[in-house]
Chain A
Amino acid sequence: MKSETGFDPALYDRFPTKGERPEGELEELERIWCRPKGWGWVTAINNNFIGVYFVGAAMLFFCLAGILALLIRTQLAVPMNGFLPQETYNQIFTVHGTMMMFLFAVPAVEALGVVLLPQMLGARDLPFPRLGAYAFWAYLVGGLAFFSSLFFGLAPNGGWFMYPPLTSMTYSPGINADFWLLGIGFIEISAIAGAIEIIVGVLRNRAPGMTLDKLPVFAWAMLIFAVMIIIAFPSVILATTLMELERVFGWPFFDALKGGDPLLWQHLFWFFGHPEVYIIFLPAAGATSTIIAVVAGAKLVGHRMVVLAMLATGFISFGVWSHHMFTTGMPTISTSFFSAASMAVSIPAGVQVFAWIATLAAGRLKVSTPALFAVGGLTIFVMGGLTGVMVAMVPFDWQAHDSYFIVAHLHYVLIGGMVFPFFAALYYWMPMSSARPLSERWGRWVFWLMFWGMHITFLPMHLVGLMGMPRRVYTYLPDRGWDVINLVTTVGAFLFGLAVLLWIIDMARNFRPFGDREAGNVFGGPGLEWIPTGLYSVRSIPVVKSLYPLWDDPQLSKDVVAGRYFLPNSATGERETLVVSALNAEPQYLQRMPVPGVWHVLAAVLTAAAFLLLTVQAYWPALVGAVGAVLCMMRWCWDLDRPRVADMVDIGAGIMAPTYVSGPRSHGWWAMVITLVVAGMILLLNAFSYVFLWSRDPGAWGSPPPMMATALLVAGYVGAAGLGWLSCKALALDRARSPVIATGLMVLATGLLCVVTYSDIQAWLGAGLRPSTNAQGATVASLLVWQGSLTGITGLMGVYALLRLVFGHVEARRPSTFQLIALFLGYTAGQGVFGVLLTHLFPGS
Chain B
Amino acid sequence: MARWAWMLGGLIVWAIHFLGVYIIASLGDVVDRADALAWRMAGLAFSGLCVAVVAILLFLSLRRLRQGEDEPNWRFREQLAALGAFVSLVSIVWQALPTVIGY
Q: Which of A295-327 contact B (CB under 8 A)?
A: 304-305, 307-308, 311-312, 315-316, 318-319
- Say whether B11 contacts A312, CB under 8 Å: yes
- Say whether B102 contacts A333, CB under 8 Å: yes
- Bound Cα distance from A1 to B69, whole angstroms: 9
Q: Is residue B48 within 8 Å, beta carbon to beta carbon, of the partner chain?
A: no
Among A68-76, A336-344, A458-466, A818-826, the one that faces the other chain is A336-344
Which residues of chain A are near B80, meaning CB under 8 Å?
Answer: 304, 307-308, 311
- Say whether A333 contacts B40, CB under 8 Å: yes
Q: Which of B15-52 contact A (CB under 8 A)?
A: 15, 18, 21-22, 25-26, 29-30, 33-35, 40
- Say whether B18 contacts A337, CB under 8 Å: yes
Least CB distance from A172 to B in Å reads: 30
Which residues of chain B are near A332, meaning CB under 8 Å?
Answer: 34-35, 102-103
Which residues of chain B are near A336, meaning CB under 8 Å?
Answer: 97-98, 102-103
- Say whether A319 contacts B75, CB under 8 Å: no
Query: Which B residue sits closest to A344, measured CB to CB?
Result: B91
- Bound Cα distance from A318 to B22, whole angstroms: 12
- Say whether B79 contacts A347, CB under 8 Å: no
Which residues of chain B are near A4, meaning CB under 8 Å?
Answer: 72
Which residues of chain A are near B26, meaning CB under 8 Å?
Answer: 334, 695
Query: Which A residue sits closest to B21, measured CB to CB?
Result: A337
- Say whether A333 contacts B73, CB under 8 Å: no
- Bound Cα distance from A580 to B1, whole angstroms: 16
Given contacts A336-B98, A337-B21, A308 and B15 within 8 Å (CB-CB)? no
Of the residues A308, A347, A698, contact of B90 by C-beta under 8 Å: A347
Of the residues B8, B18, B33, B77, contact of A331 by C-beta under 8 Å: B33
Query: Which A residue sits closest to B17, measured CB to CB?
Result: A319
- Say whether B72 contacts A584, CB under 8 Å: yes
The size class of the interface chain B forms with chain A is: 35 or more
- Say whether B15 contacts A315, CB under 8 Å: yes
- Say whether A212 contacts B14, CB under 8 Å: no
Least CB distance from B103 to A in Å reads: 4
- Bound Cα distance from A425 to B70, whole angstroms: 38
Which residues of chain A are near B76, meaning CB under 8 Å?
Answer: 211-213, 304
Given contacts A331-B33, A333-B25, A333-B34, A340 and B72 within 8 Å (CB-CB)? no
Q: Is residue B87 within 8 Å, beta carbon to beta carbon, of the partner chain?
A: yes
- Say whether B98 contacts A333, CB under 8 Å: yes
Of the residues B29, B75, B87, B91, contact of A341 by C-beta under 8 Å: B91
Which one of B33, B73, B97 has the highest number of Cβ atoms from chain A below 10 Å of its Cβ?
Answer: B73
Query: Which B residue sits closest to A312, measured CB to CB?
Result: B87
Which residues of chain B are near A340, meaning CB under 8 Å?
Answer: 91, 94-95, 97-98, 102
- Say whether A308 contacts B25, CB under 8 Å: no
- Say whether A1 contacts B84, CB under 8 Å: no
Q: Is residue B62 within 8 Å, beta carbon to beta carbon, of the partner chain?
A: no
Which residues of chain A are near B71, meaning CB under 8 Å?
Answer: 1-2
- Say whether B22 contacts A337, CB under 8 Å: yes
Query: Which B residue sits closest to A332, measured CB to CB?
Result: B103
Q: Is residue B83 within 8 Å, beta carbon to beta carbon, of the partner chain?
A: yes
Given contacts A304-B76, A334-B34, A695-B26, A312 and B84 within 8 Å (CB-CB)? yes
Least CB distance from B97 to A in Å reads: 6
- Say whether B95 contacts A583, CB under 8 Å: no
Of the residues A212, A341, A347, A348, contact of B18 by C-beta under 8 Å: A341
Q: Is residue A9 within 8 Å, beta carbon to beta carbon, of the partner chain?
A: yes
Given contacts A316-B91, A334-B25, A211 and B72 within 8 Å (CB-CB)? yes
- Say whether A347 contacts B87, CB under 8 Å: yes
- Bound Cα distance from A584 to B70, whole angstroms: 13
Least CB distance from A227 to B in Å reads: 11
Q: Which of A1-27 contact B (CB under 8 A)?
A: 1-2, 4, 9
Which residues of chain A are near B97, meaning CB under 8 Å?
Answer: 336, 340
- Bound Cα distance from A211 to B11, whole angstroms: 21
- Say whether A315 contacts B11, CB under 8 Å: yes
Q: Is residue B3 within 8 Å, beta carbon to beta carbon, of the partner chain?
A: yes
- Bound Cα distance from A698 to B97, whole angstroms: 31
Which residues of chain B are near A213, meaning CB under 8 Å?
Answer: 73, 75-77
Query: Which A residue sits closest to B79, measured CB to CB?
Result: A304
Query: Which A residue sits closest to B97, measured CB to CB?
Result: A340
- Say whether A311 contacts B11, CB under 8 Å: yes
Least CB distance from A354 to B in Å reads: 14
Which one of A2, A312, A316, A331 has the highest number of Cβ atoms from chain B below 10 Å of its Cβ?
Answer: A312
- Say whether A337 contacts B98, CB under 8 Å: yes
Query: Which B residue sits closest to A213, measured CB to CB?
Result: B76
Which residues of chain B are near A343, meaning CB under 8 Å?
Answer: 94
Given contacts A333-B103, A347-B90, A311 and B15 within 8 Å (CB-CB)? no
Which residues of chain B are near A214, meaning CB under 8 Å?
Answer: 73
Which one of B33, B90, B98 has the highest number of Cβ atoms from chain A below 10 Å of its Cβ?
Answer: B98
- Say whether A348 contacts B87, CB under 8 Å: yes
Which residues of chain A are near B98, meaning CB under 8 Å?
Answer: 333, 336-337, 339-340
Which residues of chain B are near A2, meaning CB under 8 Å?
Answer: 70-72
Query: Which A residue sits closest to B86, measured CB to CB?
Result: A308
Which residues of chain A are near B79, meaning CB under 8 Å?
Answer: 304, 308
Please list the 4 inter-chain residue pairs (A to B) with the smallest Cβ-Cβ separation, ordered nearest first: A336-B98, A336-B102, A213-B76, A331-B34
Sample 30 A-B pairs with CB under 8 A, ordered by A number: A1-B71, A2-B71, A212-B76, A212-B77, A213-B77, A307-B80, A308-B83, A311-B8, A312-B11, A312-B88, A315-B8, A319-B15, A319-B18, A331-B35, A333-B35, A333-B99, A333-B103, A336-B97, A336-B98, A337-B25, A337-B95, A339-B98, A340-B91, A340-B95, A340-B97, A340-B98, A340-B102, A344-B94, A348-B87, A583-B4
Contacts A212-B77, A343-B94, A347-B87 given; 19 further ones with Cβ under 8 A? A4-B72, A212-B76, A213-B75, A213-B76, A305-B83, A308-B87, A311-B8, A312-B84, A315-B12, A315-B15, A331-B25, A331-B103, A333-B99, A340-B97, A341-B18, A341-B94, A695-B26, A695-B30, A698-B30
